[in-house]
Amino acid sequence: MNASPLHGRVAVVTGGGSGIGLAIASSLARRGVRCALLGRRAEAVESAAGSLVTPGLGIPTDVTDTTRVDDALRRVHGHLGPVDIVVHAAGVFHKAPVGELTATHWQEVLAVNLTAPVFLTQALWPDLVAQSGQILFVGSIAADRAFPANSAYAASKGGLASFARVVAEEGRDHGVRVITLQPGQTDTPIWGDTAPRPVRRAMMRAEGVGALAADLLATDRSVDFEPVTVVPPTDPWEAT
């Protein structure tokens, strides 16, 4: 008997080459899920896929390019079959006070964090309905909390939370479950050099967030979730 209800399922994980996306894929693979990891850097997604305990696939893809996404999904279907789970973890985070916000900045953040999950969800909808599948949106506490110089990111994650709420309602009639996970500060490459080492050490570990995400996806289907917010025990910025 297989221990996990997810065993043998197929997942597409965007942003699967690093950080929270990779941590979610690793936890899913430990439950026997076959994961296709999408991200722009070929080396990152391919080496990440090679590290999974259940063999997966790394597919270099810019999620904002619908032609490349369609190509990627054809590869997923050819190699792994229909998709049961999509994890939207690709994201970018650039800080700028509103007075310095450029159109390029705004458009990139909205394109990756909001528009790409919308159209990937749409592209996978027939699979998700046919498989009674699941969608996991990696949102952010920034959807609900104001951090200075964060307006574009907050708008993208707020928009994602609203989109997810509606898709959850539509999905319910088709047996599709939608989960929105809203992490607080997590120690991943997204921070670049914007957070000093003691602050990074006080953040959540991506592995912890990834394990929780896999637990949520494995939870009995009679259980539905409001957006799940997780935060470090103390404010990491007080660790300086």
Ligand X SMILES: NC(=O)c1ccc[n+]([C@@H]2O[C@H](COP(=O)([O-])OP(=O)(O)OC[C@H]3O[C@@H](n4cnc5c(N)ncnc54)[C@H](OP(=O)(O)O)[C@@H]3O)[C@@H](O)[C@H]2O)c1
Binding-site ranges for ligand X (CB under 6 A): 14-15, 17-21, 38-41, 44, 61-64, 89-93, 112, 138, 140, 183, 185-186, 188-190, 206
Minimum CB distance to ligand X, residue 187 (Å): 7
Whose Cβ is closer to ligand X: residue 2's or residue 234's? 234
Minimum CB distance to ligand X, residue 130 (Å): 25
State the Cα–Cα distance between residues 155 and 210, nearest whole angstrom.
Answer: 24
- Reading the block at residue 26, the tokens are 């690793």
Minimum CB distance to ligand X, residue 20 (Å): 4
Sign of the torsion angle spanned by Cα atoms 159, 164, 165, 171: positive
Minimum CB distance to ligand X, residue 132 (Å): 25
Q: Which residues contact 31 (CB under 8 A, 6 or more apart)?
A: 3, 4, 6, 7, 214, 218
Catalytic, 1? Answer no
Whose Cβ is closer to ligand X: residue 92's or residue 155's? 92
State the Cα–Cα distance between residues 15 and 24, nearest whole angstrom.
Answer: 10
Is the Cβ–Cβ distance between 50 and 9 less than 8 Å? no
DSSP states along 115-180? IHHHHHHHHHHHHHHHTT-EEEEE--GGGTS--TT-HHHHHHHHHHHHHHHHHHHHHHTTT-EEEE
Active-site residue, from 124, 153, 160, 227: 153
State the Cα–Cα distance between residues 237 and 240, nearest whole angstrom.
Answer: 6
- Identify residue 169 by its one-letter amino acid code: E
Burial degree of 68 (CB within 10 A; 0-12, 13-18, 19+)? middle
Whose Cβ is closer to ligand X: residue 21's or residue 133's? 21
Q: How far is CA 223 from the centre of its chain?
A: 21
Whose Cβ is closer to ligand X: residue 12's or residue 131's? 12
Minimum CB distance to ligand X, residue 208 (Å): 12
Whose Cβ is closer to ligand X: residue 44's or residue 168's? 44
Catalytic center residues: 153
